[in-house]
Amino acid sequence: MAEPTTTPKPELPKPQRFLTADEAVTFLGLRSKASLNYLHNGPDGPPFVRLTARSRVYSLGDLQAWAEGRKTTRK
């Protein structure tokens, strides 16, 4: 008699990591949340997800890509 075959369970995607504003400030090496807010007023601030009217979170991958995009070779 043949053994029953088990189908492997599909792997779930890893959840995306979101950072709070305080964590984003630390990750980016900024001095305060005011510095982060200042960046939002510019034309190319870091991307964020607005959860509520007062709450923003930041995707770790988006922050990394944003910071990489701001590299410069100027001294």
Give 40's pLDDT tier (boundaries 50, 70, 90).
confident
pLDDT at 7 over 90: no
Contact between 39 and 45 under an 8 Å Cβ cutoff? The reply is: yes
DSSP string, 13-67: PPPPPEE-HHHHHHHHT-S-HHHHHHHHHSTTPPP-EESSSS-EEEEHHHHHHHH
Question: What pLDDT digit, counting tens, does each position of 43-67 carry?
Answer: 888 999 999 998 899 999 999 999 9
pLDDT at 14 over 90: no
pTM over the 0.85 mark: no
Q: Which two tokens stand for residue 43?
A: 């034309």
